[in-house]
Structure 1
């Protein structure tokens, strides 16, 4: 049984991966997709989206990180996958699930589910280029506009050499609209001989149990549900072991939001850091009424000093905080 953190472009970056994995309950995470077009990317391109490669391909809490590639050229993907392995990638994951229009227009992500033969060639080429001890995995949706090709796509990926499949239980056209069709995950798992993880619409512990019952899969990948409730993986892992664990309160989550703000200001220019904070805070409103109240205060603010005060961090200069101070940061 495995619990993974989903790769979410523009949301689950190295900062959020650090904060979410340290909460506990996660077995592995995945980088944001690294887009491969027509050339071998430089090491800097991998370091930008997967900086954990510089620390053993693990987050600071020790959670393994897989490197995800997105593209449609089998040979070019193979070359870049092989290079990523020299940089320390422990697993190469291939993205066949991104529903973004800009990505699909450039023949990346879920649009490739229209071409099972191409899926097979991509995985086969990458598998041949990557050292035998490094697994190649894939993330897919149920299809582009219909799940009718889901089984053919899953078979193509598995036969090409994918060691594991994550199935987001919706089509590209459905995007993120509920419901997730977990029953199709069960059909995929019955058709392929490799492990399958269910993904989509798991927001609570009750959702996990329903997904497990319908899909037949104990292993799951959590995306927006974990971003909205950072201790969800911890709750699931404990429940599977037959243990009880209390849900974390807002008082326990807020210090992580404060650290996120400190780290975002270090990584991004002042004009962009507030947007990243609002993005995560907005998602936390789904689970915490206190987050909704705080979000209402900061949503129209762009002044970093004012946001410091609203977060209870007045007088804390991010530039002068070291990592240990960030981790000890509490309400003031």
Structure 2
């Protein structure tokens, strides 16, 4: 089984990738998207989103990282894909699935699901622009409002000679609703498509992963939100490990604080750690109590101190 740590805008940044790949055997990571509009972006943008390109496009433990681009103009997507490749990117992923209103309003992400021909042109132009040794993949949803739209979209990607395709098994309108998941459409796609497929959506534990693989016939999974709920979900899925004990999760939160509060990143740390705590509450009841304690603070220092105190209490009680 191949397990990919997927992109989550504003959440799965390079710090979180380093943390999660260190405790999981992920086969690949995909960055948050680089927004492409109508120009060639400066090099520092790529280094900010994907610092790993300076280190052979790998996390500290050697997990490969591919850069994701989001945009709607084929020529500029290609120009920026070439720049990413020249800087050291080992793979380019194209985002056609982001459901964010701001992104869709500006013509990007899931809005392109309404225009399979434009998707085809973007993938084709990027594929022809970058060296053949660099994979060019895409990530889509099943469609805008009808899952049957997926067949034309997949054909558009496949005919453009993409190296692989990740399918989030919901439409844009389906958002992240659990009851909107439709893995069976990936099954139908797989019956005729020859492009390698990765299934995505509603994988929260080992059983979900097994059910998804059995339903879709895929041997590759991408996990996103679940990786924040259960920090070792990659290994839970791959090896049927138990979820990390709460004490170990708190240790990770403290370790994350050491990453985040360096330099001016400390300004963002309170929001980031609260955001992560909100995900953790879905798996760990203890996180809800800790969240209530830290949510009143908007500076890094008191939050880190509370985490350390909580960890000390857990060790004393053990």
Please, what TM-score do these two structures have when normalized by structure 2? 0.94
Partner of 2:304: 308
Q: Does 1:209 align with 2:210?
A: yes
Unaligned runs of 5+ in 1: 240-244, 315-329
Partner of 1:17: 17
**8 A contact 2:6–2:223 mirrored in 1:** yes
Q: How does 1:147-226 map to 2 (within 5 A)?
A: 147-179=147-179, 180-226=181-227
Partner of 1:230: 231
Q: List 4+ stretches of structure 1 deviating above 2 A.
A: 267-272
1:277 to 273, 276, 286: 273
Q: How does 1:75-90 map to 2 (within 5 A)?
A: 75-90=75-90
Partner of 2:119: 119
**8 A contact 2:230–2:243 mirrored in 1:** no
| 1:331 CA displacement | 7.1
Partner of 1:323: none
Equivalent pairs, count: 312
Q: How does 1:53-92 map to 2 (within 5 A)?
A: 53-92=53-92
CA distance in 2 between counterparts of 1:290 and 1:113 reads 40
Which SS does the other structure have where 1:61 is aligned? Answer: coil
CA distance in 2 between counterparts of 1:268 and 1:4 reads 30
Deviations 1:296-330 (A, max 9, x none): 1111211322212211169xxxxxxxxxxxxxxx9
Bigger Cα displacement from structure 2, 252-261 vs 134-143: 252-261
Report which of the two has the higher share of helix: 2
Q: Does 1:287 align with 2:279?
A: no
Do the aligned partners of residues 150 and 291 (structure 1) sit closer, same or farther apart at CA in structure 2, a change above 3 Å counting?
A: same
Deviations 1:255-307 (A, max 9, x none): 11111122121254544320011001110111112222211111121132221
Bigger Cα displacement from structure 2, 56-65 vs 230-239: 230-239
Partner of 2:243: 247
CA distance in 1 between counterparts of 2:71 and 2:98 reads 11
**8 A contact 1:264–1:277 mirrored in 2:** no
CA distance in 1 between counterparts of 2:304 and 2:283 reads 23
Bigger Cα displacement from structure 2, 132-141 vs 270-279: 270-279
CA distance in 1 between counterparts of 2:237 and 2:148 reads 31
**8 A contact 1:255–1:331 mirrored in 2:** no
Partner of 1:326: none
RMSD: 1.7
CA distance in 2 between counterparts of 1:102 and 1:148 reads 25
Please, what TM-score do these two structures have when normalized by structure 1? 0.90
**8 A contact 2:120–2:160 mirrored in 1:** yes
Partner of 1:242: none
Which SS does the other structure have where 2:38 is aligned? Answer: coil
Which SS does the other structure have where 2:308 is aligned? Answer: coil
